Structures are given as C-alpha cells and as structure tokens.
Amino acid sequence: MIKTIQNSLSNVGGIVISEIRESFLDAGTVLIFIVAVILYPMLYSLGYINQTIRDIPVAVIDQDNSSLSRQYTRMLDATEQLSVSSRPVSLKEAEHLFYQGTIHGVVLIPANFEKEILSRRQADVTVYCDAGKFFVYKQVFTASSYATGTLNAGAEIKSLLSQGRSWDDAFNRFEGLNAQFFELYNPSSGYCTFIVPGILIIVIQQSLLVGIGLLFGKNNERRKFTDRGKAIYPWLRNLESVLGKATAYVILYLSTTLVTLVLLYHWLSFPEKGNFWTVYLLLIPFLYTVSFLGIAIGCWFKKRVHALMIIVFASPMVFFLTGVAWPIESLPGLLKLLAYAFPTTPMIPAFIKLRLIGGGINSVFHEWVIIIIQMFLYFILALASYWFAMKSNNKPVMAEAI
C-alpha cells in the first residue's frame, strides 16, 4: 500500500513536470498562460486608469442674464465634474453643439430666474443630459444637483437672515440634519476600482480554461493522450494524470497571478486592506477548481480551435453571471443557479472581501465552502471525462477505403 502511494506520488510529480514542459513547448499555450494573463488585464485597465470623468464640457443658456444666474453658472463651472465651455443664446444652437459632440450636456436657466428666487417662489432649471452614456449622465446630473442645492441653501439662509435671525439659527433651521458621508473601500468612487478587481479574477479563469482547452484539443487531434511517452489506461493512472495536470496548471498560475494580482494591483493603486497571502489560501483551491473544470470540458474539444471558439464565446456570459456587471441577487432564479457553475462567482466576492475590504479568512467561509464543493464536483467530472477521452482516443483507427 505504501509502495503504491509512493509510486503514485512519483508518477504525479513526473506528470507535473511533463505538463509544464508541454505547456512551454506549445506557442499557443505560452501566449495564453503567460502573455495574455498578464498583458490583457494591463491593457484592459488602461482605459479606466483615470477612474472618474471630470470637466465634462456643457453649455449654459442664460435667458435671465442676472447676477444670480451668472453666479449659478460660475458654481456649475466650479464643480469638478463640469466645465462650462459655451454659452449659446438658444436651445437650437445648444442642440447643434450637442450633436456635434462639442458638449455633453445643456443647462437652461429660464427668464425671471432671479426674480422668482428673490420672491421666494420656485424657479426651475432645466438640465439636458445624455442618458445613453451612463457615467457622463451621472456626472452632469450630480454637478447640477450640487450647484442647485448650494444656491438654494444660500438663498434660504439669506431670507432667514433678513428676518432678523442669527447665522447659527438660520443655518440650523435650513439644515436640520447634518449628514456626513464616508466612502468606504472605494474612496475615489472610481469605476476602475469597482470593475477591475473582478475582471482580474475572470481573466485568470477564462485564460486558464482556454489554455487547457488548447492542450487537450491538440491531444485529441493526435488521437492519443500521453504522459512521458506512455499511454494511460488504468483508472489509477487516470487519477494520477488528472491530479498531475491540474497541479501543473496551478503552479503556473500561482506564478503569473503574482504579477496580475500584486504588481498590477499595486500599479493601479487599488485599496489594499488585506494581506495577499491570505488571498493565496483561497486562490489555490480556486485554481484547482478551474483546472478540473478545464480538464472536464477540454477532453471534449476535438480540435484546438474549439477551445478558443467556445470558451471565448462564453466569456461575456461569465462576465454577466458572476455579479460584476449586475448583482447576482437581482438575477432570475435559474440564472442565479447557473452562475454558481463558474468558480469566479464565489471567488470574486471573496477576493474583494479579503483584498479591498480587509476582512479576515473567517469572512469568506461561505465562499470557501462553495469553492471546495465545486472543486470536488469538477474533480469527479474531470475523471469521468478523462476516462472517456482515453477510451475513445486510443481506439484503433480503421483505414478508409480509397
């Protein structure tokens, strides 16, 4: 028994070395396992490196042309979100500038603006935003709300002061509730900090699946799975092969993820609340789960190109279902169940809890249990798929009649 275990461990070690060598000898796998998993997140992140959109050009149509309307225009221009780049005289002219792409919003200050405010009547300011561009719309709307709220506060406090009230009394009457906001875990409120950490985990999963698919597709094209030149037939040998190959992929990705999740993460200046080595404790079973999944589906690829076609095609679905683009809680029941077919679904919130929020290993116990369950299920599926691949690929091929 002990001798058998020793031989099996020796065989697994040999398969690990053989699979790593095979990965480096295959140009496509090197491109996916090393170049793509490092370069793709870097290029993807460059588009979001500025985090937030500032100084969006807008037009202000001042039909009142009063001191108060000019003050409101200066307040809009003073916000970090907007820059008043033009002052057209009509809405038609502003519309022309908008469709040219010169401006991304229009603020219309109506006539009698100052008169209505000084008479303590409501004055309406019309804001036209491009709702087709969500972040541009958000910034234009937010800046307009800030300027309007500040101007309204000043007018209200001046009115109370004119009634003989003290500054403190006027201020407290206007602002009965003093709310203080603290932006946790994403201080800059940047989209890059929100989206890229999840994207990094998705890139790791999808690139590993593609790389494994390329290797197994090549073996299927050759109609033979080999380890160190020997065909695999016994069930024990299948077990050794699945464990050995998965361990090889995990070793490769533990190296490349140091660049992706440490150097790139630090370069983008993301919040680093937790210790990365704690993340490693969860990253190892995650990589084994993805590797077993890759072996399970890779055995069915008859050609190398099938791995690229199928897995890359499925990547947008993975992006949507893993909760990065849309909360999992808001998905329909069937899609929510389908989401947990992917290891990234529990891994992304676990990574965010450990890395951005700074929670301990106990905070990700739920996600850890899900990953462990996935790992065992995909391990069994990988064994079954590998056994079927050995059986079908090593059948003798009959010569076709000419």
Burial of 372 (0-12, 13-18, 19+ CB in 10 A): middle
Mean pLDDT computed over 228-257: 78
Instruction: Give tens-digit pLDDT for 125-151.
Output: 899 988 878 788 888 988 888 888 888
- Segment 34-93, tens digit of pLDDT: 888 888 888 877 777 777 788 899 999 999 989 888 999 999 999 988 999 999 988 899
How do residues 331-365 score in pLDDT, each as one tens digit? 888 888 899 999 999 999 999 888 888 888 888 99
* CATH code for the domain of 149: 3.40.1710.10
Question: What is the tally of structural domains in the chain?
Answer: 2
Residues 356, 238 share a domain: yes
Answer whether residue 183 is part of any domain.
Answer: no
Confidence of residue 399 (pLDDT cuts 50, 70, 90): very low
Residue with tokens 């090889």: 248
Phi, psi of 40 (to 5 degrees): -65, -50
Q: Measuring CA to CA, which residue among 147, 139, 149, 150 is closest to residue 82?
A: 139
* N-terminal to C-terminal alpha carbon distance within the chain: 53
Considering the domain architecture, whether residues 122 and 146 belong to the same structural domain is answered as: yes
- Token reading at 398: 């009959």
Kindly give the pairing relationship between strand 105-109 and strand 126-129: antiparallel
Alpha-carbon span 77 to 89, nearest angstrom = 18
User: Is residue 27, in this structure, part of any structural domain at all?
Assistant: yes
3-state DSSP helix/strand/coil % of the chain, to nearest 5: 70, 5, 25
| Axis-axis angle for helices 2-25, 191-222 (nearest 10) | 100
Residues 125 and 269 in one domain: no
| Cα distance between residue 380 and residue 378, in whole Å | 5
Q: Clarify whether residues 28 and 61 are in a common domain.
A: no
128 and 156 housed in the same domain: yes
Q: How confident is the model at residue 371 (pLDDT cuts 50, 70, 90)?
A: very high
**Which of 115-119, 128-132, 176-180, 203-207 is most confident?**
203-207
Q: Any idea of the CA torsion for 246, 259, 304, 8, to the nearest 10 degrees?
A: -20
Q: Which of 145, 174, 203 is the last residue of a domain?
A: 174
Domain match, 269 and 346 both: yes
Query: Domain containing 97: what range?
Result: 56-174
- Separation CA 35–CA 296 (nearest Å): 24
